[in-house]
Amino acid sequence: MKNYYIIDFDSTFTQVEALDELARISLENHPDRESIYHEIERYTNLAMEGKLSFREALAGRVKLLNANKSHLDKLVSHLKKKVSTSFSRNREFFKKHADTAWIVSGGFKEFITPVVTPYHIKTENIYANTFRFDEEGNIIGFDEENPLSNEGGKVQLLKQLNIEGRLFGIGDGYSDFQLKESGLIEKFFAFTENIQRKSVTEKADFITPSFDEFLYVNDLPRAISYPKNRILCLIVGDVPEIAAHILKRDGFSIRTKDTFEEKYVKDVGMLLLGDNIDISDEQLQHADKLKTIGYLGDIRGHINKDICNAKGIVVFDDKKKKKKNSEFIPRRMADFINNGDTYLSRNFPNLILPKVKQVTRLLHIHQNVPGIMAQINKVYAQNNINIVAQFLMTKSDIGYAVTDIQGEYDKDLLKQLKQIDNTIKFRILY
């Protein structure tokens, strides 16, 4: 049986509620715009939380819009810039699953279709409401015969379609959960990258902080090998709020603490530390998932650089204690996790990598001894791997090799690369 992916649009595929955004465009010059905005948002939230019927909320919002076709053109341009980050980077999934990735929304085709079709989603796989217009192009209502305009409309639609296959739903609202409640879909994933509604998440099979997480859990093609929301970023000490904001906005799981508590040592993937915070040798030795440390000060006397080298932990610090580094250092940490860059690292060779599409990027950190690259490339050759690009730099006792490969590969390749003598750390980046 085929798997079908039923995906919501508002606050899921896009970061925003489209009708709320349309109101801000159409009512820009209206003297009572603020009160009308709040009323439209109130309708939206009541419907999403299951406290008001969808038909009532939809009718109420459309009536307040005072919109026309020219406003829709502006809305589409705006929505194209508001596609959720984790959906935007996973176009390849939609290309490979063009027949089974569907948009099912209580929104409107007039703005949904031009936003999602560039992602290889077929027009026949877009199910949504449609507006009614008068002769001047003003929106005067919607097609009330469309099941998606009704309460429980998504359930009605899928019953009519009678799809032969296993259905998985992903969305942020009560109407998405109703699909699970009806028994029509196998699993419901509450999407929380943009908004989290307790009334929805407490009933979901899975809480999904990003589309990467959905793809990871279901073992589907994805742009990054490991969802960033699964990487624990611990912020310790006096760290400006902007630094935490940068990493949170990038999708990492953030915890802010006064001290490096023992319960986090084994699970932490990133550490951002205020000046004068000490990390003990024992803590470093047991931090096996730790990939990078950012230090808003000089690490000397606070962190053992030799242990960081031995464990392949990339360190970014601020010897001159510049205020701007409260932004620069977290960005460097994110660039290492996202792209493999080590530029201006305290302990690693400085490497800025090009962003290459449709490749698998492999990071190999090793002791700087002769013959390592020969062993690495021997493994690639024995596995008939097509190397697109390869980068190597060394610094002191650290060697850092980045290889972009193309095409399918056996998972045994990864095992072989990890087992090369003098390997410190190996990971798939994307």
Q: How far apart are CA 428 and CA 372, in angstroms?
A: 18
Q: Report the alpha-carbon angle 254-352-413, nearest 5.
A: 80
Q: How far apart are CA 88 and CA 97, in angstroms?
A: 15
- The CA distances from residue 187 to 100, 236, 424, in Å, are 16, 37, 39
Q: Report the alpha-carbon angle 275-262-243, nearest 5.
A: 35
Q: Report the alpha-carbon angle 215-221-223, nearest 5.
A: 85
Give tens-digit pLDDT for 252-281: 999 999 999 999 999 999 999 999 999 999
Give the pLDDT confidence score for residue 394 in this predicted structure: 96
Token pair for 58? 């939809």
Helix (H), strand (E) at residue 392: strand 386-395
| Residue 99, phi then psi, degrees to nearest 5 | -85, -20
Give the pLDDT confidence score for residue 48 in this predicted structure: 79
Q: Could you tell me if 211 and 87 are in contact, meaning their C-beta atoms sit under 8 angstroms apart?
A: yes
Token pair for 6? 């039923």
For 384, residues 6+ apart whose C-beta sits below 8 A from its C-beta are: none
pLDDT by residue, tens only, the chain of 430 residues = 899 999 999 999 999 999 999 999 999 999 999 999 999 999 988 987 888 888 999 999 999 999 999 999 999 999 999 999 999 999 999 999 999 999 999 999 999 999 999 999 999 999 999 999 999 999 999 999 999 999 899 999 999 999 999 999 999 988 898 999 999 999 999 999 999 999 899 999 999 999 999 999 999 989 898 999 999 999 999 999 999 999 999 999 999 999 999 999 999 999 999 999 999 999 999 999 999 999 999 999 999 999 999 999 999 998 876 667 789 999 999 999 999 999 999 999 999 999 888 899 999 999 999 999 999 999 999 999 999 999 999 999 999 999 999 988 998 999 999 999 999 999 999 9
Give the pLDDT confidence score for residue 302 in this predicted structure: 96
The sign of the dihedral angle between the CA atoms of 264, 266, 271, 277 is: positive
Q: What is the DSSP letter of 14?
A: B
Q: How far apart are CA 79 and CA 194, in angstroms?
A: 14
Q: Could you tell me if 16 and 82 are in contact, meaning their C-beta atoms sit under 8 angstroms apart?
A: yes
| Residue 129, phi then psi, degrees to nearest 5 | -75, 170
3-state helix, strand, coil in the chain (%, to 5): 40, 25, 35
Whether the pTM exceeds 0.75: the reply is yes
- Domains of the chain are 3-218 (3.40.50.1000), 228-339 (3.40.50.720), 359-429 (3.30.70.260)
Q: How far apart are CA 81 and CA 227, in angstroms?
A: 22
Helix (H), strand (E) at residue 311: helix 305-311
Token pair for 395? 């610094």
Q: Could you tell me if 333 and 295 are in contact, meaning their C-beta atoms sit under 8 angstroms apart?
A: no
